[in-house]
Structure 1
Amino acid sequence: MTQSLHIFPEFIQNAWDKSGFSALTDIQERSIPDQLENKDMIIESPTGTGKTLAYALPALSKLNPEVKNAQVLFLAPTRELAMQIYEVCQKFTENSGLSGASLIGGANMQRQLDKLKKKPQYIVGTPGRVKELIQNKKLKVHEVKTIVIDEADHIIEAGFNGDVEQVIAATLKDRQLVFVSATINNKTEEWSKKLAVGPVVVKVEKEAVKSEVTHTFMVSDYRDKVDNLRKLIRHTPGIKAMVFINSSMKMDEFANKLEYKKIKLGVLAGNSTKQDRQKVLNDFKIGKIPVLLTTDVATRGLDIPDVTHVVHFEMPEDVKQYVHRSGRTGRMGKEGTVVSLVTKAELTSVKKWTAKMNVPLQKQFLDHGEVIIKEDTVKPRTSDKRTAGQKSGKPAHRKSDTSKNKR
């Protein structure tokens, strides 16, 4: 138990210990104190750095179980992200006497109304459904003291900012606003500052994120990428890989080629139906399928645990997109591998990005059915700790993770 956790109620401390986390992450250390002082916040931190707990713990710690009305609203742009936040809140309010409700678009309205009759103290939902229930006087928000807007940039991109503004306007003026995102551009920051009052801005730099991630590349002609991906999957025991394609137009073509080679996979595209998305995500999470072929848009806001590999099948546009994708693995201090399938021309960009991130870039290749990582192919500007299984000329086997990790 880190000393900082003693500021939280006992039920949160117990849930923290049960989760096996050892210490607060950088974004949690830097943002929680101001949130506990009810300051408006703008928080930017990359995927995998513990953003959810960074805003959930202070918000939940201020709930009063004696007040039988909603006191905290968590708003998210997608139903998947809303449910993930709800699951975290349930976990960290266990044995607290507090209750919550998930209010997401597309779900059964009557069931949600039944949940509201039980007077939950925290609400997690999508902006449109929460706004609708407030306007229909089914959700009372006069006791709301904190509103968290997660994936704020995606809220704007999806056109939900108007709904969020109406939800905020329905609450009392002295409530706290917390805007959170993995990436916050100028438009999102300006929108947040327009709604917030003197917000504290906390941003974690990409270089400050600590993880045990190995960044590698495999040189491949474009026409050979599918076959090299197949070999990588075949010869990596226990692989759980997210494979990124730039456009959903090519998804079916690549998926068909891999499935023809007997590779089990799921496809998650921006135009996937809600039912298809849910089934694919569940199958991937439980290990029924080892590979998830996806796009950046389709995975926005998703938190998928224990991803062992991120594969850049097609190259990101810039270093920011490279970091965001790569952050899907090596979460909570666990080991992970990033593989860029690159042509000789594309290799220059990957070298430049990893150099900017100050992380080693290593060459990965297949030798007699074994995946080999060649050490020190491209070194960072400063010395960096080697990850287990990266000895020169030896198979890139990974040790099992049995330690208690950071969140």
Structure 2
Amino acid sequence: MQHSKATTTAILIVAAGRGERAGVSVEGPKQYRMIGGKPLIAHTLQAFATHSKTWPIVVVIHRDDEQLFEKALAYLPDRHRVTVTHGGATRQESVLAGLKALQAFHPDYVLIQDAVRPFCDAPLIDRVLQCLDTGPQGVLPAMPVTDTLKRAETNGKVAATVSRQGLFAAQTPQGFAFAPILAAHEAAAASGRTDFTDDASIAEWAGLTVELVEGSPDNVKLTVQRDIAMADAKLSAALPDVRTGNGYDVHQLEPGDGVTLCGIFIAHDQALKGHSDADVALHALTDALLATCGAGDIGDHFPPSDPQWRGAASRIFLEHAAKIVRDAGGTIMNADISLIAEAPKIGPHRQAMREKLSEILGISLDRCSVKATTNEKIGFVGRREGIAAIATATVVFAGVRP
């Protein structure tokens, strides 16, 4: 991808509409209807929040929808990047409000996206950005019109067949150089024009150059109730997003009175050396959980140089990792730990360890596994110089489109 690292691209999600054509629902306006297990707008936001670029995101909502939006935002792993502002009576007014809110970020480019297009994907975003890099002031993703077009008389009779050559159906995200599109919107507002149907049409009116790029046939706008039902069926039938994370940890043994493994203290003639309670098993499992959502490792969240974690119970680390997973929309399905030690014996404590994992993670006992093996007196484990642990965690996230 050629998008320059020196430029800043902001995202503007337009979500202030009432969506009357989608019918009345207890879930609120259509952008908050549940599809595929989460609000429609959450799917739209995820496409941009999980893209490889780190952009500021401004979402323009109706002032009556703050609670609905807050619930939808809970499905987003990187919610601190999202800024909210209130929209106006029309889409055009809402976009202008969003552009003004984005001025604080001083972006070079802006991508303006309809909240009710949940099937936007990374390749489409990349095409818009790549075209912006070539110099146009605006980029419009679009699909060529394939249906035969008819013009009707006022009485409903066909007046003529319209040539579809050179005709395209506009989509979003529409990309623009930030300063020119802001100026165009401000000029349109000052002129009293309120009849523009998208941002590209305002750009054209203002004399900006707008280029077409290939849209996506999947990038449909959900307008009526049938659209929402079809999107829900499509996402509900998606392949499950099952992720497996692995973790490994080792701690040195030193003279002492016992070790803590899987949150259970076991009396022993040695102790594990570490900044916290040195629970090698929970440390490995913490890393495994963090791996399922790309959240780094235990050292990123709990640096051993930080004195507040001296002697801390390692369940704190595991609970933190489990919260990160759940905040990202994950469901912990399984936790498996293999301990590698010559001593102490793990077997008598295995059930208590499994119960402790079940308690900390909030999952059933049958989803928690603890195993142990020796190292056949080979290596540092065999010499009783340390204990190692290998952990695997399985997490299911919201479904992905096949």
Q: Structure 1 length as normaliser, TM-score?
A: 0.25
Specify which structure has the bigger relative contact order, considering alpha-carbon pairs within 8 angstroms and separated by 6 or more residues: 1
TM-score (norm 2): 0.26
Structure in which a larger fraction of residues adopt strand = 2
